[in-house]
């Protein structure tokens, strides 16, 4: 374990050094990611100056909801970037190199690549949103609440990690999975940012059962906020994010292990 942690820091140090070689550029690019992600929020803020609430969510409650998706993504991308770009790893034969090293395959993949630019951009945005909203949405923060918040953040990271682990496993069979990711991750994420209840039943079902983004932000936020629109869903859904996270990740891991047998090198 100690070995793994030191490995992570070694990778992080080189990664940060490479990324922040050009300081001004890195600062501008990080801010650009931050600003790009904030665009939808700014638009929502402006719209709510006119409309006040959306499905009874006011702007502070929305910011709290948004914070979860950005914080989880910020952490997720530190550990799962290699899986995000995994089809490229296979295509260019980089995965062969990983296989020759004396550590677990997934351990290496999780530790080695971090998209620091996205991590800082999304992460700071999430943290700022959390700081702005946490005390203005009527949550009585105590030890239990704080622990549960951390637990749902970890669950959110695991859920998104599981989705990418599935795609990586599929890359063993078909190599090119960018379109799958585009449809099932990036597009679904566009939907997931906003309250689930504004969508029609079909989109809601996808976000609950297929790519369970609803358990990354909507249901955990409902646990803290108890908005009226929760009445449309079974109450226990507010509590099961950790189970969904761990369960889905375990499932994805099993599928990955199984698929690994079918790996054929694309290199030469």
Partner 1 sequence: MSTYLQFAVIKFRNKMAYRFDYLLGILNTLLSFVVYWSIYKALYGGASEVDGVTFSMVTTNFIISLGLSSAFHKNEMFLQDKIKQGTIANELLKPVNFKLRMLFEDVGEGAFNVAFNFLPTVVIAAFFANLSAPSSILNVLLCLVSVVLGYIVLWQISFIVQSWAFWLFNVWGLITIKNVFVNILAGAYIPMWFMPEWLRNVIQFTPFDSIYFTPVQLYLGELQGWEILINFARQLLWIVILYVIGEFCWRRGIKKLVVQGG
| C-alpha dist (Å) from residue 114 to 13, 104, 245 | 11, 18, 21
Residue 104 region by backbone torsions, left for phi larger than 0, else alpha for psi between -120 and 50, else beta: beta
What is the Cα–Cα distance from 57 to 48, expressed in whole angstroms?
Answer: 10
Residue 161 and residue 76 in contact, taking contact as beta carbons nearer than 8 Å = yes
What is the Cα–Cα distance from 138 to 225, expressed in whole angstroms?
Answer: 8
Distance of CA 164 to the CA centre of its chain: 10
- Residue 165 structure tokens: 């682990």
Pattern of binders to partner 1 over 51-90, x per CB under 8 A? x--xx-----------------------------------
- Choices 49-57, 88-96, 135-143, 163-171; region in contact with partner 1 by CB under 8 A: 49-57
Number of residues that bind partner 1 (CB under 8 A): 36
Q: Which of 154, 198, 200, 250 is nearest to 51 (CA)?
A: 198
Q: Is 194 helix (H, G, I), strand (E, B) or coil?
A: coil
- 99 touches partner 1 (CB under 8 A): no
- Choices 40-48, 73-81, 167-175, 231-239; region in contact with partner 1 by CB under 8 A: 40-48
**Least distance CB 150 / partner 1 (angstroms):** 29
> Of 110 and 192, which CB lies nearer to partner 1 in the complex structure?
192
- 264 touches partner 1 (CB under 8 A): no
- Choices 5-13, 50-58, 70-78, 219-227; region in contact with partner 1 by CB under 8 A: 50-58
What is the Cα–Cα distance from 26 to 67, expressed in whole angstroms?
Answer: 23
Residues 6 or more apart whose Cβ sits within 8 Å of residue 28:
none
**Least distance CB 74 / partner 1 (angstroms):** 17
Site for partner 1 in 176-235 (CB under 8 A): 179, 182-183, 187, 190-191, 194-195, 197-200, 203
> Of 201 and 264, which CB lies nearer to partner 1 in the complex structure?
201
Query: Rule CB under 8 A: which residues touch partner 1?
Result: 22, 24-25, 28-29, 31-33, 35-36, 38-40, 42-44, 46-47, 49-51, 54-55, 179, 182-183, 187, 190-191, 194-195, 197-200, 203
């Amino acid at each position: 374990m100690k070995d793994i942690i030191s490995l992570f820091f070694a990778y992080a140090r080189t990664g940060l050094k490479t990324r922040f070689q050009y300081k001004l550029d890195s600062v501008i690019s990080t801010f650009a990611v931050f600003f790009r992600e904030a665009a939808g929020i700014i638009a929502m803020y402006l719209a709510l100056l006119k409309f006040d609430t959306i499905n009874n969510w006011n702007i502070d409650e929305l910011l709290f909801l948004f914070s979860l998706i950005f914080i989880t993504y910020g952490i997720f991308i530190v550990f799962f970037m290699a899986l995000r770009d995994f089809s490229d790893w296979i295509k260019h034969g980089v995965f062969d190199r990983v296989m020759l090293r004396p550590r677990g395959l997934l351990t290496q993949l999780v530790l080695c690549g971090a998209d620091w630019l996205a991590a800082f951009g999304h992460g700071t945005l999430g943290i700022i949103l959390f700081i702005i909203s946490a005390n203005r949405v009527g949550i009585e923060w105590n030890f239990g609440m704080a622990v549960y918040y951390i637990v749902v953040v970890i669950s959110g990271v695991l859920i998104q990690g599981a989705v990418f682990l599935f795609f990586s496993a599929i890359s063993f069979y078909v190599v090119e999975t960018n379109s799958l990711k585009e449809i099932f991750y990036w597009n679904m994420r566009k939907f997931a940012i906003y309250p689930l209840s504004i969508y029609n039943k079909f989109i809601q079902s996808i976000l609950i059962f297929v790519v369970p983004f609803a358990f990354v932000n909507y249901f955990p936020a409902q646990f803290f906020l108890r908005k009226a629109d929760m009445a449309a869903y079974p109450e226990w859904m507010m509590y099961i994010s950790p189970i969904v996270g761990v369960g889905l990740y375990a499932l994805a891991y099993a599928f990955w292990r199984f698929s690994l047998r079918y790996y054929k090198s694309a290199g030469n």
